[in-house]
Structure 1
Amino acid sequence: QGLGKTLQTIALLGYLKHYRNIPGPHMVLVPKSTLHNWMNEFKRWVPSLRAVCLIGDKDARAAFIRDVMMPGEWDVCVTSYEMVIKEKSVFKKFNWRYLVIDEAHRIKNEKSKLSEIVREFKTTNRLLLTGTPLQNNLHELWALLNFLLPDVFNSADVSECLEVQCCSCYFDSQAAVLKPFLLRRIKGEVEKSLPPKKEVKIYLGLSKMQREWYTRILMKDIDILNSAGKMDKMRLLNILMQLRKCCNHPYLFDGAEPGPPYTTDTHLITNSGKMLVLDKLLAKLREQGSRVLLFSQMTRLLDILEDYCMWRGYEYCRLDGQTPHEEREEAIDTFNAPNSSKFIFMLSTRAGGLGINLATADVVILYDSDWNPQVDLQAMDRAHRIGQKKPVRVFRLITDNTVEERIVERAEIKLRLDSIVIQQ
């Protein structure tokens, strides 16, 4: 459904075997959730490539290593990040031809355990697959390049790379340096008929109750905010988190919701600036026959939205980090089914952001924004992807004059970096 990174990789390994007589063994490292898909694609596209999959508990792995891996009657071993860490001694025994890492931004921190282990393997070629090579800063991109070519991108470069200020000539030279190592696929090139995506930022105010809580949080921690320099970073991040909660809905704080008895009523809407706007927006979208993906960072907020949907009589599905695998599949299939009665699919941004296809929705609402802009882009791409028939509208809710404005500003700076260095 994406841009064919999986297929291109499989084609490359098949080409090496059949046209160049270059045997494996190859290793493909993937997130656990995509293992199944990779194995299916190998069978589907190049069945003559003997792909095996290392997964399972300790006993299952031991048997697999003894009966399958060691005899070596295979071409490609597909496995997950976790398994490589657990079975690194086995993987070190092989002389790998190609080491492929899917969703390679997992090794963007060169000090992480996974990064250190994959660097120890004997490999002739290395291939990294990622939709988001540059997430927060240039250092992460450098870490990926250093993994591919440790001699070219060595540790001396990194200090230089981080010291240089953002001048355009520097970025031009960076883009030129990257060109030989980067194959970039853009949706517009792969799928000419994909309808456009349009993002609208909606700026809104705080409700009376939210203003009271926002002030309370700041006043309570005024001494921390004033003690510039001797700042305890964790406490500051915690204040930011509390302020973000406040912008979303005051009921995320204990004691804010009126009661007992607790009732679902108009106060659920009127006490939050975002809910007021969301309520009007959803009514309009419903009228227009649109279907909505609603993303939030906070699972507790999804609980409030569930109450709201039941109260308004909107049919919905929900997916977050706690949703078991079978229920995920079921929710996605129900929402995507022809003539589905589900109007809203609510997802937590980080759990629902990767690799899920919900192209039957044409509206994405980001209830709040992530510090890492690629996370929000991944979320929008659940709907704006190959298979989408309608133009996609994205609404981003931002509370005026609060911490949220800063988060969006910071995210946009990171995206500019991406567009200068990578997109060129």
Structure 2
Amino acid sequence: MRRSCAPSMLKVRELEKRRKIDKLFEKDEHRNDEVTTSSLNEESWGTSRNRGSQFEGQTVKENKDTFHTKIIFNVVWREMTKKKHKTWDGDGLLEVQLNTPRAVLKDSTGKYMGTNTKFEIDNLQEGYQMVVGGKEIELLEQITDSNQYFALKKQYAENRWNSEEQLQSKEATKKLKISPLYQSPYNVKNGVELNNETNQRNNAAEGSILTDTGKLSFNVVWREKTTKKNKIWNGDGVFDIHTDVKRGVLKDERGQEIGVVENVNLSDAVVGSILVVEDKEIEILDMVTNNKPQKLNVAKSNAPKPREKRALTKTNGFILPSPPENYLSELNPAFLPIHAVEVSYRLAQLLRPHQKDGIAFLYKCVMGFHNPKYRGCILADDMGLGKTLQCLTLAHTLLKEGPYGGERVLHRILVATPSSLTRNWEKEVNKWLKCERMYAFVAGGKHKLCSYSKQQHVPFVITSYEFLLANVSEFQCLQFDMLICDEGHRLKNESTKIVAALRELDIPRRIIITGTPVQNDLREFYSLAEFVNPGIFGNYQEFHLHFERPLQQSQSPEASIEVKNLAAERTRELMQISETFVLRRLQEVNGQYLPRKYEYICFVQPSELQQFLLQKALHLYTQRKETILKDLTPFQIITVLKKICNHPSLVARTKTPNLLTRTLERSLPDCTEMGPFDSSKLELVQHFLIASAIQNGEKCVLVSNHTKTLNMLQGLCDFLNIKCLRLDGSTSLGERNDNVEKFNSDSDDSLVFLLSAKAGGVGLNLIGASRLILFDNDWNPATDAQAISRIWRDGQTRDVHIYRLVTAGCIEEKIFQRQTAKISLGDCAIQNITQNNEDVMKFTAEDLSNLFCLQEDYSLCQTHENLNCNCNGDGENLTLEAQTNNRNINALMNWKHYKAPFDTNFLEDACLENASDNLMYIFCTQTE
């Protein structure tokens, strides 16, 4: 039988093993350091004094050849796993030999972990993931400074020597059981050299750690006891040992007691040891102490400082506003010291100026700096300005620290979003916060909320409004510190179930993200404001009488001077309150980062068949009481008129035809005789696609609010042999993402993307296209605005052209005018353009309700006539006098107006040179 080694023999073998590892580790360093092997003999390992003299005698000389043949990366690593939600196990260092490709992975103590020789050197860059020695790693950043590299190697050597010293002084450790806690890597890392004599060191440790309270505190990580092979920690905590009664108490990061253990052996409380507390396992990280060590000599150290702190000190990082003094007693009742809250340097360097302003605004709102009673806000930035990034940066900052004593403000955040955007939010969290070790849990589908109990260290919970409404009781069991509602205009009706469900969660800080805070009337704005800051405007009756009614009355051109003055006063008051919790910026603030944008409003004359059908449909509607069409509703006639404007053939394709459509079908020619020429808009699109897609090879997006219209446009693309992709309400989420990625890829030969305005107007990025046509208009301008903004956003490299097609003289032009009025109403509440009430688009009630009248003279543009514009239609800029005298739609006065016949060069630039036959007017504007 083989005998086991005596303990003394084990000790000798352990020292011999470490000596061999040190020699391997220091091969490269011997070429650069003036250190002899004799100075590293076993006799010099006994005391810290000898080690200190060794390092003082070393003069590290940078060897440039090392960094010509080797590159080094900071990395994170984990064991290979098939889990869906993976976490990193630790930090490390990857040394790559360039002459003979070979990568060596070492952990944070310099211990060898594995080697890889099969990799491409060109792929080694920040964010690249690879496998080394059975470990998955991700490259964080390259170390280019040799001093930093050798300082890290020196730190690793000190950590190993510490372990050997603890092994040799085991007897001394038993006599003074708390001394190993004092010899933590933290002290070595920060260059603290202990006193020469062992007894003095022990006395200093004893005096600094033992306190009059008889309690020792340790920072720990904890998890539930499990038999799984790959275990993960659930969270951070503090483990207090009461030395007088040998009782240990485990508390989580909120200070709540989660476990107690009796008869604690102090010799077991060593850094790195794993203890059991009731049904939980803990690992001791380091000891918490407020007392300074006695008589410690601070020695110079080459150990690198933390990366983020060094960068912030160097660049005076992005510091958020300090609390206001007038509310300090309410905001900080414990009178904790004021702490400067700083945004992570890694995130701060990615932010644009308007995004930094937005983060500072959000911070002041959720912290109650404007008023401690209200801690919510509405981020109403235009599409493409980075609203998601601003919210994530704010959340990350407050998850790390706060202004009062440095204590963090947030622990868990709920993100509610439409179901189609949950994965987008998860991607955004991984994109911006993955390097900060923060992840998200998506609740919905297969991922039930009960699974989150095993991942409560994950700070972000993302869910859809539908899933939250169905499982509101489960969400109530979790305590959230902040709520983020994406596409928050869904909460515009305060009586809906989802609003009630969100209020039941009782989350103190609420942020609404929306690009369209007002879509129909100011009541919607009141509902959003009441949700984020309950009571800020009183009840709705008070808001209506004090704000909404005066503003609505002033929109009429017949409004008296007294009504206008009252509206101006109430507008200023409304703006003064709204500015404390609403932030609205337009895309122009991002214009310097984007290419030029050209917008065209194209008014086309209806074809002869369209004019005939429009007149007949309106005649049947006006005479309905005397015919069998007496039950015909205004909604039905509006639907039919819009179909005729798109193409007469759509009238015959109705699934549930009524008497009106059946009557109109008898007037239609045979389907084989109809074509694009029967619709002025479709004919324009045909000539446009030939010029832009076929001749110039430009990608284009065609947008419509109706599925049958998309079918018609797809048929036109097939007729022209143009390959197209499509996204509408029937497109699955996976197919949706695939189509978008294909279209944005340069290798894909699809030149047209067919997009449903309602199904695809949110969360899409179609920067592969440089031209977009909005084929028809929706009553809600926000729907069209969302769809139009799909191509003019970050990542676009070419000039963008956007076309809005309007059939003149009929219901489509009335819809366009109504849209303009809605945009004006929203801007009154958000952008304060009512400082000059005469510059707001206004329509009388008669103008808005007169939808069923056709224009007799199609050579005139009714919208241009409403402008009272005296221009010649040649695109010349308008005079200031003409703008001042205007009383109607002055928002379009800054656009250039063109009428037929058009300049040839202008049409060629717009790819409309062959589509001018039916064009009456074109309004054009350019954004630099």
| TM-score normalised over the length of structure 2 | 0.42
Q: Tell me how far apart the structure 1 counterparts of residues 454 and 568 of structure 2 sit (CA, whole Å).
A: 52
Q: Is the 8 A contact 1:321 1:348 kept in 2?
A: yes
What displacement does 1:397 show? 1.2
What displacement does 1:289 show? 4.1
The match for 1:239 is 637
1:51 aligns with 2:451: no
Q: Tell me how far apart the structure 2 counterparts of residues 225 and 293 of structure 1 sit (CA, whole Å).
A: 43
Which sits farther off after the overlay, 350-359 or 148-157? 148-157
The match for 1:204 is 604
Q: Deviations over 1:12-53 (max 9, x none)?
A: 222112112224232111111121122233234334445322
What displacement does 1:173 show? 2.7
Secondary structure of 1:53's counterpart equals: strand
- Cα 1:316–1:74, aligned 2, differ >3 Å: closer, same or farther? closer
What displacement does 1:117 show? 1.4
Aligned match of 1:293 in 677, 688, 701?
Answer: 701
1:162 aligns with 2:560: no
- Cα 1:311–1:35, aligned 2, differ >3 Å: closer, same or farther? same
Aligned match of 1:380 in 784, 788, 803?
Answer: 788
Secondary structure of 1:115's counterpart equals: helix
Q: Tell me how far apart the structure 1 counterparts of residues 727 and 511 of structure 2 sit (CA, whole Å).
A: 32
Q: Within 5 Å, which residues of 2 pair with 1:185-204?
A: 185-190=585-590, 192-204=592-604
Q: Tell me how far apart the structure 2 counterparts of residues 44 and 278 of structure 1 sit (CA, whole Å).
A: 38
Q: Is the 8 A contact 1:295 1:367 kept in 2?
A: yes
Compute the RMSD of aligned alpha carbons: 2.5
- Cα 1:405–1:83, aligned 2, differ >3 Å: closer, same or farther? same
The match for 1:213 is 613
1:269 aligns with 2:710: no
Secondary structure of 2:384's counterpart equals: coil
Aligned match of 2:512 in 125, 128, 148?
Answer: 128
Q: Tell me how far apart the structure 1 counterparts of residues 697 and 826 of structure 2 sit (CA, whole Å).
A: 35
Q: Tell me how far apart the structure 1 counterparts of residues 542 and 572 of structure 2 sit (CA, whole Å).
A: 17
Aligned match of 2:492 in 108, 129, 151?
Answer: 108
- Cα 1:142–1:180, aligned 2, differ >3 Å: closer, same or farther? same
- Cα 1:164–1:73, aligned 2, differ >3 Å: closer, same or farther? same
Aligned match of 2:416 in 8, 11, 29?
Answer: 29
The match for 1:409 is 817
Q: Tell me how far apart the structure 1 counterparts of residues 703 and 738 of structure 2 sit (CA, whole Å).
A: 19
Aligned match of 2:475 in 75, 91, 97?
Answer: 91
Q: Tell me how far apart the structure 2 counterparts of residues 154 and 273 of structure 1 sit (CA, whole Å).
A: 51
Give the aligned residue type for 1:310: D
Secondary structure of 1:318's counterpart equals: strand
Which sits farther off after the overlay, 125-134 or 339-348? 339-348
Q: Is the 8 A contact 2:686 2:716 kept in 1?
A: no
Which sits farther off after the overlay, 391-400 or 188-197? 188-197
- Cα 1:157–1:50, aligned 2, differ >3 Å: closer, same or farther? farther
| TM-score normalised over the length of structure 1 | 0.89
- Cα 1:176–1:275, aligned 2, differ >3 Å: closer, same or farther? same
Q: Within 5 Å, which residues of 2 pair with 1:284-363?
A: 284-286=691-693, 287-363=695-771
Give the aligned residue type for 1:34: L
- Cα 1:98–1:289, aligned 2, differ >3 Å: closer, same or farther? same
What displacement does 1:109 show? 1.2
- Cα 1:196–1:415, aligned 2, differ >3 Å: closer, same or farther? farther
- Cα 1:419–1:290, aligned 2, differ >3 Å: closer, same or farther? farther
Q: Tell me how far apart the structure 1 counterparts of residues 455 and 719 of structure 2 sit (CA, whole Å).
A: 61
Aligned match of 1:282 in 659, 683, 689?
Answer: 689
Q: What count of residue pairs does the alignment treat as equivalent?
A: 410
Secondary structure of 2:534's counterpart equals: coil
Q: Tell me how far apart the structure 2 counterparts of residues 277 and 299 of structure 1 sit (CA, whole Å).
A: 20
* Structure 1 residue ranges without an equivalent (≥5): none
The match for 2:393 is 11
> Larger C-alpha radius of gyration, 1 or 2?
2
Q: Tell me how far apart the structure 2 counterparts of residues 334 and 236 of structure 1 sit (CA, whole Å).
A: 42
Which sits farther off after the overlay, 335-344 or 403-412? 335-344
Give the aligned residue type for 2:830: I
Q: Tell me how far apart the structure 1 counterparts of residues 723 and 616 of structure 2 sit (CA, whole Å).
A: 36
Give the aligned residue type for 2:615: T
Q: Tell me how far apart the structure 1 counterparts of residues 790 and 767 of structure 2 sit (CA, whole Å).
A: 6
The match for 1:38 is 425
Q: Which has the higher contact order (CA 8 A, sep 6+)?
A: 1
Q: Is the 8 A contact 2:776 2:805 kept in 1?
A: yes
Higher helix share: 1
Q: Tell me how far apart the structure 1 counterparts of residues 579 and 438 of structure 2 sit (CA, whole Å).
A: 30
Aligned match of 1:399 in 801, 804, 807?
Answer: 807
Which sits farther off after the overlay, 250-259 or 288-297? 250-259
- Cα 1:274–1:189, aligned 2, differ >3 Å: closer, same or farther? closer
- Cα 1:225–1:203, aligned 2, differ >3 Å: closer, same or farther? farther
Q: Tell me how far apart the structure 1 counterparts of residues 728 and 470 of structure 2 sit (CA, whole Å).
A: 27
The match for 1:143 is 527
Give the aligned residue type for 2:395: L
Q: Is the 8 A contact 1:172 1:421 kept in 2?
A: no
What displacement does 1:143 show? 0.8
Secondary structure of 1:241's counterpart equals: helix
Give the aligned residue type for 1:246: I
Q: Is the 8 A contact 1:268 1:308 kept in 2?
A: no
* Structure 2 residue ranges without an equivalent (≥5): 1-382, 403-407, 555-566, 653-664, 833-928
Q: Tell me how far apart the structure 2 counterparts of residues 170 and 247 of structure 1 sit (CA, whole Å).
A: 41
Q: Deviations over 1:45-96 (max 9, x none)?
A: 3344453221116xx52xx42x434984443321110111001112223442
Q: Is the 8 A contact 2:771 2:801 kept in 1?
A: yes
Q: Tell me how far apart the structure 2 counterparts of residues 366 and 406 of structure 1 sit (CA, whole Å).
A: 16
What displacement does 1:274 show? 1.4
- Cα 1:362–1:71, aligned 2, differ >3 Å: closer, same or farther? closer
What displacement does 1:169 show? 3.7
Q: Deviations over 1:127-170 (max 9, x none)?
A: 11112212222111111101011121232333223312333443
Q: Is the 8 A contact 2:600 2:802 kept in 1?
A: yes
Q: Is the 8 A contact 1:188 1:194 kept in 2?
A: no
Give the aligned residue type for 2:649: Y
Q: Within 5 Å, which residues of 2 pair with 1:245-264?
A: 245-254=643-652, 255=665, 258-259=669-670, 263=672
Q: Tell me how far apart the structure 1 counterparts of residues 439 and 768 of structure 2 sit (CA, whole Å).
A: 35
Q: Tell me how far apart the structure 2 counterparts of residues 293 and 225 of structure 1 sit (CA, whole Å).
A: 43
Give the aligned residue type for 2:384: G
Q: Deviations over 1:287-326 (max 9, x none)?
A: 3443211111111011111221111222222211111222
Give the aligned residue type for 2:442: C
Aligned match of 2:464 in 66, 71, 80?
Answer: 80
Q: Is the 8 A contact 1:191 1:386 kept in 2?
A: no
What displacement does 1:381 show? 0.7
- Cα 1:215–1:126, aligned 2, differ >3 Å: closer, same or farther? same
Secondary structure of 1:164's counterpart equals: helix
Q: Is the 8 A contact 2:762 2:786 kept in 1?
A: yes
Q: Is the 8 A contact 1:24 1:76 kept in 2?
A: no
1:2 aligns with 2:384: yes
The match for 2:405 is none
Q: Tell me how far apart the structure 2 counterparts of residues 175 and 11 of structure 1 sit (CA, whole Å).
A: 27
